[in-house]
Amino acid sequence: MTKLKLVYFDIDGARGEAARLAMVIGKAPFEDDRVKFADWGNRKSGTPFGALPVLERDGQTVAQSNGINRYVGKLAELYPADAWQAALCDEAMDAVEEIATRVWSTMRLPEAEKKAQRESLAAGPLSHSLDHLQRRLVAHGGQYFADGRLTIADLKVFVWIRHLRSGDLDHVPVDLADRVAPRLVEHYERVKSHPAIKAYYAERKVAL
């Protein structure tokens, strides 16, 4: 039997979370290897690109979050078989990855510079990204991003909207998504209500 291990930081969010949720929903057994930040320096050199997440399968590895998402999405039947619908799924995941990378790149800046850059991102590129994602959701029926059903793309967007509304991002208004893209917040609530997701976070004692 194939053995899967997802290696990611010990946080309930960010780049590794959509893959975790997909495997939970798809009932694909996996080892959830949660790396403590204090241990990351010792483990970094053992990863393909010096970054997480990494998925291990029977001793082999694959890196890059959206590549992992596509693979586990297929295992969990949360990735479209139709090539066009798969492209729409990829589009949403890549859109999130692009803007999230811009926001997270400010993390280690001096406080004053981080504040200025995040406020600028929130007023411009981040708001535009949310608006465009909302438009794509509506264009595809308003419920899900691809295939007329829950896919790995919906999980990636769900994790991103949850992060934006969490208050964990200094200098990014917690109500930004609610003001700019209310349909994405409705989508977030729709995904949040999935029984497997509710059960997973309840077991982990993580508030949604």
pLDDT at residue 208 greater than cutoff 90: no
Q: What is the mean pLDDT of residues 24-47?
A: 96
Radius of gyration of the chain (CA): 17
Across-strand partners of 32?
A: 6
Q: Are residues 140 and 180 in the same domain?
A: yes
Residues 157 and 95 in one domain: yes
The tens digit of pLDDT for each residue in 140-151 reads 999 999 999 999
Supply the CATH number for residue 25's domain. Answer: 3.40.30.10
- 50 and 94 fall within a common domain: no
In this prediction, residue 5 carries a pLDDT of 97
Amino acid letter at 11?
A: I
User: How many CA atoms are closer than 13 Å to the CA of 70, on its beta-carbon side?
Assistant: 17
Same domain (yes/no): 102, 155: yes
Q: How high is the pLDDT of residue 1?
A: 60
- Predicted confidence at residue 3, as pLDDT, reads 87
Find the mean pLDDT for residues 71-86: 98
Taking only the tens place, the pLDDT of each residue in 95-121 is 999 999 999 999 999 999 999 999 999
Q: What domain range includes position 16?
A: 4-77+198-204
